[in-house]
Structures are given as C-alpha cells and as structure tokens.
Structure 1
C-alpha cells in the first residue's frame, strides 16, 4: 500500500486508488502521514481536524474515525492496518518507499550531499527524482487546521528550496540554456526571492550575456524598491559588482559566495521534545505572513513562562521548524537574565555579539548602542534571518536587538511578560497537560515502567506539578536507576519537606531555577513572595495578601502584579493569585526561617475570621451574637457576602485547619462558628464535619469548654442535615451537658433546639416538644429573639408531623413575625415552608402554594439549598392535592435533583414519595411503585416514621 501527500491525498493498493470519502477521515490520515512513524497526540489530531472550536464529542468522534480508517486500510491492504494506537495518540507506520514524502526527503538528502561533495550530475538526478514526486500543492484536496495547515505550507517552501538546489547543480554541470529558461519563469512566479535572481544573473553571465545579467539586476532592484521599499541584499549587490568588473571568480566559482549572515547558531532540537502541539500550531499560525514572498513587517513571537516550563526548548524547536523560511541565518543569543554567575547582557554588548555573528568585523562595530542598533538593522535589511533572543530580562533589553526588516523573525523568551514590545505575538507557556506530561516521562525513561504503573505516573506528574523541567529530572532519575519503580520515586516525592531536594539530577535542580528568579526580585517583592509561602489555601486575593504583609492593599496588589509579571505567581481569574505547587514549596522553604511568620499568620487569620463573621452576619444576623471579632471587610449586601464566602471557602477551611494544628484555637473556634450556617446552607456537610471536629479537638486541647460545646452543637446540626439522627442526638446531648456544666444558657437553649429537631425527624414527637419548650423558655428569659425564631419554627414542624396543623400554624406564624424583626432569612425560609405545609394539611392549598413560592424565593436569595428542596417538594404535594399531577412531577423531579446533589436523604425520600403519588394520580401505578420503594428504603434507613405510611401504600 502506497500513500501520497505531495499533491492530492491518495492511497494506492495493487495499482488501484482506495477512496477515502469522509472529509474528517481524510484530514486524520493526512495529519498522521505528515508525521509518519511518529505518535501524534489525540488533542493535536482534534485541532487539525476541527480547528480551534471542535465539537463537544470530538474525542469520541476521533475514536470513531480512527476505527473506520483502520478498517478501510486493513481491508484495502490485505494485511494488518498500518494505523496503530499508542498511549496518548496514534501513528501510521510506513516504509520510506511507501510514502512519497519520506521518499522525497531521502532523495533530497542524497542530492544535497552530492552537491556538497562536488558531484553535480548525481545531485541533478537525485533532486530531479525528488521533485518528480510532486503532483501539485501538498494535500490540496484536504481541509486542515492549525499546525496541519502550517506543515503543508512549509512543505511548499521546502520544495522551492530544492528547486533552487537542483538549478544550482545544473549550473555546475554546464546546462546553462535549460537553467536560464527555467529561472526566467521562476523569477516571474517568485519576484521577491533573491536567491533565484542570483542564480539567473550568474547563469546569464556564464552564457556570455553580461548585459542581460545586469538588466536582471536592475529589474529585481526595481521590484524590491516598489514592493518593499528596500535595496537588494548583500549577495545580489556583491554579484552585481562582480559582473560589472568582470570578476574571473565568476567563471571559476560554482556559485556566489554565501552571505556572512547565512549561519546557524541554533543548538540541536531535543530528540525527546514532546507535546506543545497546540502552542506550536498557534505560533506557526501567528507567523503565517512569513510563508509568502512579500512579508510586510518583521515578526516577533514573545514566549514567557515560569522557570523550568520549557520556553527555550520550545523556541529552539520552533526555530528548527521554521529554518527553511529563513535561509540567510538562524542566530541565537543568551541574554543571561537568570544566569547563576553572569550579569544580564546589556543591549550594547548583545548587539556586539549579534553583529559579529552576522559577519560584521570587530573594527566596523561602532562604540555607541544607538549606532550598533542602526548597523544591526541595516545588516539584516532584505535578508530573511531568524533571531532567537533567549532569556530576556525585560522589554527594554530586547527592543534595540529586534531586526526591524521585513522577512525577519525574532523569537524571544523570558520569565517576564514582555508587554512593552510593540507588535509582538505573545504566548504565555503553562505547564504540560496530563497526556503530554506522560508522553514526556515515557520518552525520557525509555522503558516499560511508566506503562506498567499508570496510577503512579499520574501521581508523579501531579507531584512534579506537570512542570517540564521537574518531569525531565524525575524521568532522568528513573532512567539512571533501573531498579526503581515509578511508585518508589513517587513515595520519595510525596514528602513535601524533601520534594525539592529529590528533584535534582547532576547539574540540574528545581531549587536553582526558582532561586535565580527570586534573586532578581526587589526586597519588598522577596518579602511578599516568602510570606505567600505561609498561606495554607489554594489561592489568595489582595486583601488577604495585605493582611499577611501588614502593608496597604494598594501596595500589596502592585507587588502581586509584579510577581505575576515574572511568572512566579499565576492568576487563575481576575484578582486572585496562586503558586505553582513546586514554587509554593520553594517559598515555604524560604519563609521557614523568617521571624515574621507568627505575626503574619495571625494577621491573616484575623482577616479571615473578621471578614467571615461580617459576611455571616449579613446572611444570618444570629452570627452577630457568636462572634467576638472586629468587623471585617464591608459588603454591599447578602449577595456580595455569599459570593465572597463561595470564593474563599477553600481558603477559610484551610486556614481553620492550619490554625487548629498550629496553635490558634480561638481562630478555629470563631471560623467554625461563623461558617456553620453557611456550610449547612450550601450542603457542604463533609467540609463542615472536618471543620467542627477540628474546632472541638482544639477546644479540648486548650481547655475551652464553651468552644467545645458550640463545636459539638454544630456537629450535631451537620449530622441532622445528613439524616444521621442518632449521631446528631449523641453530639447534641453532649453539647447540652457541657452547656449546663458551664452555665452557658445560650448554648443550652441551642442544644435543646437541635435535639428537638433531631427527635422530630426520628418521630419522637413528645420528646421533641419537651426539649423545644425548654429551649423557648430559656430564649425568652435571655430575650434571644433569633433563638426563639429557631425554636418556634421547630415547634411548628413537629406539630405538622404529629398531625396537628392548626397548632403548627400558631407557632409558625409567630416565627415568621419574629423573623420580620430580626431579619433572619434562614429561619424565615424554613418557617414559610413549614407554614405552607400546615396550610396544605388543612386543605388551604392556594395559601400553601403561595407560602411555598415565597419560601423558595427566600431560600434561593440566601443560597439555602435544603430549604429550596423542601419548598419544591411542597409545591409538588400541593399540585397533587389540587389535581395537577403533571405539575407535581415537575416540582418533585426538581426537588429530587437538588436533594440528590446535596445528599439530603430526607428530601430525596419525600421527592420519591411525591413522585409515586403523582404517577398514581395519573393512573400510572407501575411507574409509581419504584418511587415508593425507593422512598421506603430511604425512610427505613434513617428510622423515619414515614416508612410505615409508605409500607401501607405498597401493601394496598
């Protein structure tokens, strides 16, 4: 089976053409053939086939296309399919003779070698055979996106370079007539390609047509002036002068002498360079104007990123990919922004190095920076030169080094975002995605261990933060220690105290990379960087960072932006900052010896405690009574406060855990109390259990019985919301015991209230009423209006469940009136739902529906999700009672979805119960029974009294 890409895409088998009719499958095959015998990552294939906006099902579609194409190739070839699946991607395995592109590359290598070895006749034969393989524009009948399209365009440029080499070989062979004729057509097709004009002038001169050679020079000079406003380059100018003077070297020399700038300083491309397909494709797309013959401006691509992310490797890889477009030189200079010993190069010193590399003699280089920059730009005028400016300090350092000439390209790398470079295409390099990181590790280790331990590989990559340098070091350690498993190295890296020291191999270590960035910071930037290493949460805003430093917010925010500019911080969203995990570890090591750590953490915990208390007070005024802190940040209202708590939740919980473990018991106690209502409302019950348990442990360690009692009460409430009522009773009874022992009357009333709720759900109505009555007595004695609201709400709920809706109305109407005074929206939302339920039991369905709607709106406004599920179920029950079972289905389904999401098993059971009733009302009993059975299971699991009612329904 033969494949052809140098023209329309073709597959030939036994002399017949195999059709591939699907456009996506044609693009898939083309992408694999362009990288024949190499694994092409799945995400790169998706981008090549569908572009920057693939369908949501792209991965599944890709697998389907691969399967279909594999079947087609297998059926057409009569043997195993050459399309193979590999970790992270796919490849087509072909022999050089089976793909015209591989055959072309081999013939071109042979021809150019013959040309170098002064065998022009052999060179002409090889290069002619190579060009004969071309049938048109590469893959002209296939739609490719991203770097697939760029690769096809690159091949066209490669072909033109081969044409030039073949003509040069024919010129050496003395075939002047054919050369002149062919070149006369090519310069019309490519009027700005100076090497073609040079060959034409030389061929005319050698044919004895000096006047025509000089006329050709005049013609190209006018074309360049009209199109680019530039003069011919040094090669053409030198050749013109030789023709004018009849230089005998023209007859002796096989070709014009090479331009001094036609040199390559690039280091070799990494043999194991892996990934970055998306980034490479983006840069190539950004540089699309360089493909044509008339570039309008010098191109700049600025690549920034943290140390170790692979900026230089990407720049060098891109330079090699683009080398054929820049035949006049590929220069690279290290600007030494982060050198362990040397200072950064000044622009003047860098210009001297670049000018010498471009062939300018030392005595011709002027002393001033301004004159050197002017000479640098003049030297590269009309050339196509690629310059890699590696490891730049800032924009000011590189501006004088930019070539400025159309047709040139500057690739710039820096740890700083270079916003001061006008016209640059910017690429901020992030860490590798999981698939590319795994592929890099496999390439470096170069044995089967990674494939045998996929879970260990995933953890190893996470511990390396998917940072290419860290992965390279880890991979090198595995490659050099063949007895180690991936899991063994993972175990060594798991210890955060030694992770950075483990990530070193020979002369490379992660710590050194970060240290060079840190040393370039100012003293205030260094202090902020160190103190951020103390922060226990995943990210931070300017207010919290200002608390850490003790500096004004504006000053701290400016410094945060400075650290962001040099890629020591990341910004996942506006106003929020975070470390890469390994940078965090480095900052934590630095701050370990800082004398300001205790004071800084105290300021941070004060900020979180006080701001949380202020936010909680807006959502639930009861929190005002519990906090013992100063007012924190101001909020515009409950919505703002709720949004802040949602954003900071992970940080607040991390701060509380750190405070509990490292000796700030008061802060963990206050955070536990302030966050209790919010976490319950958001159904973050697992997080609440961890927080309140930490507060309880800290209170016991520091002999704080009041704090211990409050934490036990909050734990009991969480177990209540988890429908683990027996555990709720245990914790609340212990909280009650402590409150009575220390004469904490408020704590006693709240514990009694919690017990009332739990006993209510267990169907122990009389005990519940007794506890709630005692709680009310204490609240009234203390004039605790908010607490009284809790308790009257619960009293109404118990009477509802006990079948006394009229008694329930009395308590619930009193509760709603109390919330009008206190503003306690949490209790109001619950009370309105229970009030609606009481009216529903009394047959007041219209009133019930109105109260349920108000309860739903109130609960949504404050983010109280359990109350929303309760109100939705109530609307469903009211709809069923008013002969609207279809509407009931909608409400109960919404309630079930929400209750399942927040793991509220009581409302799940109630929703299934309601769905069964609604289906029964619709005459669809077979659909009703599964819901009743589910409700029975849920009610039975938690010992709820409703189980008996469901069992009775199912028995009838």
Structure 2
C-alpha cells in the first residue's frame, strides 16, 4: 500500500491536486475509487468522527446500512477486509489529524491512499509527505487569466503579475480575485481589482479577499482556532515581523521566551502549515498569513506589541553589530546596551557574513519600520548593523539612503557619528569624494564632542581612503598619524596594524615602494603578535601588490600564495577570492595566461558562492583582459560585458570606468576604433570627475593608441605624454617606463614634452 500525505496552508490547492491525481491514476486502480471529505478544517462543520467516516466509506463500497457494524473496530475490520486484495484508490480529503485518519487506512498492499491536511501528519510513519508551496508566478498568472475569463482589453502584462503577487500566488486568493473580475462586468479591471485587494475595511487586512461563499480570512481562522494559546500568541506576533522569515531566535525575542520553547512553537506553526520551510531552522511567512496575523494582533494590548517589537529590533541590531565588528578591517565600536536573551554565537567572519546575508531582508525591514515609527535609536543602530553587508553586497545606492537617513537623527550624537562614518565610506565607494569628506569631517567633530577615540580613529582611516581618491596623499598621511596616536593611546594594536596597512597603501600610491613595504611589514608583524591570521593574510596581499608595482613578480606571487594559504586555513573564502584575483593579475603580467585564467576562474566561483557581486565584477574584468591577451576576443567581450553590468547595478562608477578602459582596448584590437575611442573618452571623463588619476592615465593611454591606430601621431604622442606625466607624479615606475618606451617607438624620443 502507498500512502501520500499532502499538506500545506489553507487555500494552497491540496484538494485540487489530490482530485487531479486521482483522475490521472484511476485506470491503475480498476477496483474502484473512494473520496471522503473529513471536514477537518471546514467552516460550520465538526471533523468527522472516524466511526462515521468508516460508515460512509463502507457505504461507498456497497455495504448495505443494516450490515455496517456499530462498533468502530468492527467497522474498520470490515473496511479492510473489503479492500484486501483489491486495487482501490482512496482519497481522504481535509483530515484533522493522524487519529482521525489511522482507522481509515487499508491494511494490505495494492491500494493507493491520498490524504490532504493542513497539518503535517508527522506520526503516520508509512506516509510519503508532500508539502505544497504557492504557485510559480507564471502558473499563478495563468490560473488568474483562465479563472477570470475577463476581457481586460490592452491591460499591461505587468498588471497581471501585480495581481498574482498581491495574492501571494496562493490559489484560493487567485480564484477569489478571478471571481471578482469574472462577475464584475465592465465596471471592473485589473487596476480596480488591485485597489480592492488592498482594502482594509473594518481593520481586516484581508477584507478584499472575499466573495460570496469564500473568505480568505475565514479559511485562515480555521487553522488559527486549532492552535494552543502560546501558538496563537506567536502567530499574532508574526504580524510584527519586518521581514519574510523567522527562526527560533527571532521567535524567542518576540515572545521573551526560552530558545527551546520558541523553537518548538515555530516548528508547531510549520506543522499547522502556517509557516513554510525555507532552510534548516528557518521558516517563511506568507504575506497573506502575516496580514491576517496583523489583523488578529490589533486586539492585543498596544504596550505588549510595542515591547515585543522593541525586543525583536534589539535582537536584530545587537547581533548585526556583533557581526559587523567581525567583518570590518577597521576596529569598530561593538553594540551598546544589554545583549538579547538569546542570539547565535557567530564565532568567525564566515558565520557573521552568512547571518547578515540570511537576515538582511529582516534587518532592512526593521530599519524601515523603526524610521517610520520615529524610533531613532533603533534606526541608527540598525543602519550600523547593515553597514558591512551593504558595502560588500550593494547596491550602494540603497546603502547611501540608509546611512543618510540614520545620519539625520540628531538625538544620539554617538550613534550619528557612526552613521556619518558609514555614510562617508559609501560616498567614497560611489566616487563622491567631496561628500565623503564632508560626512567624515562632521563625524570626526561629533566623535570628539562625545569623547569617542575609537570611533574618531575609524573615521580618520576612512578619511585616508577618501584622500587616496583625490590624490591628497599628504593629507592622508596626516590623518593616519592622528589615527595612529589615538590607537596607541588606547593600546589598540589591531588599530595600529590597520593604520600601518593603510600607510603602506599611501606610500605605494606615491611611489614610495620601499616605505610601503616597510609599513606593511610592520602591519604584518603586529598581526602576528596578536595572533590575527586574517590580518596577516590581508597584509601579505597588500605586500604582493607592492612587489607587483615594482616589477618583482616572483616576490609578489610568493606573498599572494602565502595569503591564499592562510585564507584557506581560516576558511575565509572571500580572502581566498581576493588573493586569487591578485594572483591572476600577477600571472598575467608575467605572461602566464593559462595560470592567470585558472586563478581568476577559481576567484570568480568563490565570489559567486559568496554572492559577492563586486568581487565577481573584478574577477570578470581581469578575466576579460587575460582572454584578450590570449586572443580570445569573444570570451573577453563576454566577461567584460558581465563585469560592466555588475558595476552598473552596484553603482560603482569608478570601477565601471576602469572596466570601460579594458573594453576600449579590446575593441581596438578587434578593429572597432570609433567605439574604442568613445569608451576611453567616457572613462576619462569619469576618472577626472572622481579624481582617479592613475586610471585617468590608463584612459589617456587608450586614447593615444586609438589616435596612433588612425595614423595621428601628433595627438597620440600628446596623450602618451600626459599619461607619462601622471605616472611620474604618482611614482608608478613600471607604468611610466612602459609609456616612455612607447613614446620612443612613436617619436624616437621618450621626453614628456
């Protein structure tokens, strides 16, 4: 005997699926088909007693009423005897629980039993479970169109999708919406339907999902009534969730409960099909279920709801800020205030990054709710918790909006100072050096006013990075000196190591390669003293770049290989991806195109696994260069196109322009000089606007080659001289040597003027 137990939320289509399957399978069961509604969740009807259900089934098998025994066990024995040796299909629809179903199961093989229930029938050991989710969007739209039979004229296709999504792709909601269209005549169209579905009459968020004989709220109420008091409370608290998912930690915060109790209650709501499994330990809340929960929660005392929301937000922000401290290379202020009763351990960077990515939708939803409700402290703290993952994953336009909002809260000067520092960082990443400097300048003043030296030092480090962009290396050095004094005063060797790493960057950008190597070596030493292997890996990666700049490719490859090994030992996939990307560039410079392609392919896969779009773009752009050099112009164009798309989605104009230079070089190699020149000119304008002088020189080189390809030696040589002057000023010796040699080829002289 085969038993299939189909479970799912009310209205998801369990009965329809069972009936459809029964029709399709009928020929395989020639001895008959039985269908019985057990009324487990039927408005106005009590669940069928097993004895009554057996009587109905025996009647369906042709047993006269007078021959049906009065005893339940006797009825069950007769039922099983009648089915023995037959091939019969039995559909037991709308079961209340396992106890109702067990007496109705045949005893011998050859039969198929299909059971539907809103509950997950976990103790039916022989049953094969099938949990239904909502429809895919295309299927939802198809059902809506077919059931409505409504002429919508030239309605935009997107409106159909909006209605389907508004219905949560739940079949019952779609059928109710379709009925409104089908019976409403010419007075109804999709826009009016959307308005109806959004209506909130009498405080009922599902008021629009009602037609004669059908009410979505009533369907959900049947499940709610079957819950215990604690289960009902958690269900109502689902209405406070700012995101689409819940786990035991969030449930514990909402209920102020022990973690074990919260975990059990969440599982029980899932067993009642009021939550949908999303991942191990995590459950998705359907939008319409959450709307019904909000309606029911409105009857709870307001102070209890606000306390629950406050606990949830406190859990989110505290855990997010703990995660941010683990991820940020600059020492960061940890979360303030008392810790939540229960929170995940987050022992390392990988676990911190994973938690932030999993919870990001909830964190952003909590931020929006906190801001909308005037909860300034939560708004600022949640923005701080989101800072690291927004920088890593983008989009930076969203990060700007979040940090600008948080920075506008005037009550908490300490929190506002942190928000301004995060705002400065994102403005720097988007190329707004002036705006970044303004935000960081105000952050520094606020940190000084509240006597927050750690925050002030962190803002100074960010200011250094802004000054990198503008070429103000003297100012960057001054800011680093101040930050170093602050970290030394605090006895914070982690901060000192960070400063020396930044100092190394400043020095190699100004051509002080010996000084850069010295600063990075000191950073490496401090990280070793601290036992901070991640810091060591980062310093080694930077040393690899310094060696690459001076042309010592063997030393560069060695440093990057050690960085890669450390990151592998640590399980830091992002660090591995960074080291592999740099190693790919070094191998490219050494002429090892095969080795470069291999390293970049590994880096790209790691970035994809991490969902790190900025890293993916960088690896793709480098891959495009390698493929061009190897003669694979088609592959190069594909890689660079994908890199450019990612940079645009992230809003990273500077790196987009950097990739445009590579694309321009490729187009020239392919013989498309006009497009190549246009791309280099576009890149040049962006680099000048953003004061990215090293990339400005690369654009000038590209423009020069376009002129030279056209036979215009005068303009070509002039652009090469401009590029050479920039490389000389920045101390970028290998690049200056390359351009000087090219000038000699073109003019017979390497002079810059």
- Note whether the superposition's TM-score is higher than 0.5: yes
Q: Counterpart in 2 of 1:845? A: 553
**Candidates 481, 486, 490, aligned match of 2:194:** 490
Q: Counterpart in 2 of 1:433? A: 136
Deviation at 1:872, TM superposition (A): 5.6
Cα distance change on mapping 1:932 and 1:388 into 2, 3 Å: same
The answer (yes or no) to whether the contact 2:322–2:335 under 8 Å persists in 1 is no
**Candidates 551, 554, 558, aligned match of 2:264:** 558
Question: 2:6 is paired with a residue of what secondary structure?
Answer: strand
Kindly provide the CA deviation profile for residues 108-140 of structure 1, in whole angstroms up to 9, marking residues without a partner as x. Answer: xxxxxxxxxxxxxxxxxxxxxxxxxxxxxxxxx
Cα distance change on mapping 1:833 and 1:386 into 2, 3 Å: closer
Distance 1:663 1:517 in 2: 35
Deviation at 1:684, TM superposition (A): 5.4
Question: 2:240 is paired with a residue of what secondary structure?
Answer: coil
Deviation at 1:380, TM superposition (A): 4.4
The answer (yes or no) to whether the contact 2:325–2:333 under 8 Å persists in 1 is no
Does residue 532 in structure 1 map to residue 238 in structure 2?
yes
**Candidates 74, 93, 96, aligned match of 1:393:** 96
Deviation at 1:499, TM superposition (A): 4.9
Deviation at 1:408, TM superposition (A): 4.5
Q: Counterpart in 2 of 1:335? A: 38
Distance 1:495 1:831 in 2: 58
Deviation at 1:396, TM superposition (A): 1.7
The answer (yes or no) to whether the contact 1:338–1:391 under 8 Å persists in 2 is yes
Cα distance change on mapping 1:874 and 1:586 into 2, 3 Å: same
The answer (yes or no) to whether the contact 1:332–1:387 under 8 Å persists in 2 is yes
Kindly provide the CA deviation profile for residues 404-432 of structure 1, in whole angstroms up to 9, marking residues without a partner as x. Answer: 46655433221122344454444323222
Q: Counterpart in 2 of 1:360? A: 63
The answer (yes or no) to whether the contact 1:616–1:623 under 8 Å persists in 2 is no
Report the number of matched residues. Answer: 654
Distance 1:399 1:725 in 2: 71
**Candidates 458, 463, 474, aligned match of 1:750:** 458
Q: What pairs up with 1:721-800 in 2 under 5 angstroms? A: 721-800=429-508
Deviation at 1:864, TM superposition (A): 8.6
Deviation at 1:456, TM superposition (A): 0.4
Q: Counterpart in 2 of 1:713? A: 421
**Candidates 515, 519, 528, aligned match of 1:807:** 515
The answer (yes or no) to whether the contact 1:826–1:864 under 8 Å persists in 2 is no
Question: 2:53 is paired with a residue of what secondary structure?
Answer: helix
Instruction: Give unmatched runs, 5+ long, in structure 2.
Output: 605-617, 623-642, 705-715, 718-753
The answer (yes or no) to whether the contact 1:546–1:553 under 8 Å persists in 2 is yes
Does residue 950 in structure 1 map to residue 698 in structure 2?
yes
The answer (yes or no) to whether the contact 1:799–1:807 under 8 Å persists in 2 is yes
Deviation at 1:912, TM superposition (A): 6.9
Q: Counterpart in 2 of 1:644? A: 355
Does residue 523 in structure 1 map to residue 271 in structure 2?
no
The structure that has the greater radius of gyration is 1
Q: Counterpart in 1 of 2:399? A: 688
Distance 2:372 2:333 in 1: 26
Kindly provide the CA deviation profile for residues 886-932 of structure 1, in whole angstroms up to 9, marking residues without a partner as x. Answer: 65677689644279446455556566768999999x99999997796
Q: Counterpart in 2 of 1:655? A: 366
Q: What pairs up with 1:148-159 in 2 under 5 angstroms? A: none
The answer (yes or no) to whether the contact 2:155–2:190 under 8 Å persists in 1 is no
Deviation at 1:779, TM superposition (A): 3.4
Q: Counterpart in 2 of 1:97? A: none
Deviation at 1:835, TM superposition (A): 3.0
**Candidates 577, 591, 611, aligned match of 2:297:** 591
Question: 1:338 is paired with a residue of what secondary structure?
Answer: coil
Instruction: Give unmatched runs, 5+ long, in structure 1.
Output: 1-297
Question: 1:732 is paired with a residue of what secondary structure?
Answer: helix
Structure 1-normalised TM-score?
0.62
Distance 1:923 1:506 in 2: 67
Deviation at 1:387, TM superposition (A): 3.6
**Candidates 303, 308, 320, aligned match of 1:612:** 320
Kindly provide the CA deviation profile for residues 249-281 of structure 1, in whole angstroms up to 9, marking residues without a partner as x. Answer: xxxxxxxxxxxxxxxxxxxxxxxxxxxxxxxxx
The answer (yes or no) to whether the contact 1:500–1:582 under 8 Å persists in 2 is yes
Does residue 514 in structure 1 map to residue 220 in structure 2?
yes
CA RMSD of aligned residues (A): 3.7
Question: 1:481 is paired with a residue of what secondary structure?
Answer: helix
**Candidates 373, 383, 406, aligned match of 1:672:** 383
Distance 1:605 1:880 in 2: 48
Distance 1:533 1:949 in 2: 56
**Candidates 382, 390, 410, aligned match of 2:113:** 410
- Which of structures 1 and 2 has the larger relative contact order (alpha carbons within 8 angstroms, sep 6+)? 2
The answer (yes or no) to whether the contact 1:713–1:735 under 8 Å persists in 2 is yes
The answer (yes or no) to whether the contact 1:709–1:739 under 8 Å persists in 2 is yes
The answer (yes or no) to whether the contact 2:349–2:572 under 8 Å persists in 1 is no
Kindly provide the CA deviation profile for residues 505-553 of structure 1, in whole angstroms up to 9, marking residues without a partner as x. Answer: 0121100000001101111221221222211112122222222222222
Cα distance change on mapping 1:917 and 1:813 into 2, 3 Å: farther
Deviation at 1:652, TM superposition (A): 2.6
Q: Counterpart in 1 of 2:620? A: 897
Decide which moves more: 532-541 or 828-837: 828-837
Question: 1:533 is paired with a residue of what secondary structure?
Answer: helix
Distance 2:319 2:168 in 1: 32
Distance 1:762 1:779 in 2: 25
Question: 2:295 is paired with a residue of what secondary structure?
Answer: helix
Distance 2:388 2:534 in 1: 8
Q: Counterpart in 2 of 1:462? A: 165
Cα distance change on mapping 1:851 and 1:693 into 2, 3 Å: same
**Candidates 206, 231, 234, aligned match of 1:500:** 206
Cα distance change on mapping 1:835 and 1:630 into 2, 3 Å: farther
Does residue 939 in structure 1 map to residue 719 in structure 2?
no
Deviation at 1:663, TM superposition (A): 4.7
Distance 1:917 1:837 in 2: 23
Deviation at 1:588, TM superposition (A): 1.9
Q: Counterpart in 2 of 1:834? A: 542
Cα distance change on mapping 1:695 and 1:818 into 2, 3 Å: farther
Q: What pairs up with 1:873-884 in 2 under 5 angstroms? A: 874-875=582-583, 878-879=586-587, 882=590, 884=592
Deviation at 1:951, TM superposition (A): 4.7
Q: What pairs up with 1:155-194 in 2 under 5 angstroms? A: none
The answer (yes or no) to whether the contact 1:642–1:862 under 8 Å persists in 2 is no
Cα distance change on mapping 1:638 and 1:888 into 2, 3 Å: closer
Question: 1:608 is paired with a residue of what secondary structure?
Answer: helix
**Candidates 285, 298, 303, aligned match of 1:579:** 285
Deviation at 1:469, TM superposition (A): 0.7
Question: 2:207 is paired with a residue of what secondary structure?
Answer: helix
The answer (yes or no) to whether the contact 1:706–1:739 under 8 Å persists in 2 is yes
Deviation at 1:320, TM superposition (A): 4.0
Cα distance change on mapping 1:777 and 1:635 into 2, 3 Å: closer
Deviation at 1:824, TM superposition (A): 6.2
Question: 2:241 is paired with a residue of what secondary structure?
Answer: coil
Q: Counterpart in 1 of 2:735? A: none
Distance 1:590 1:821 in 2: 58
The answer (yes or no) to whether the contact 2:163–2:190 under 8 Å persists in 1 is yes
Deviation at 1:874, TM superposition (A): 4.6
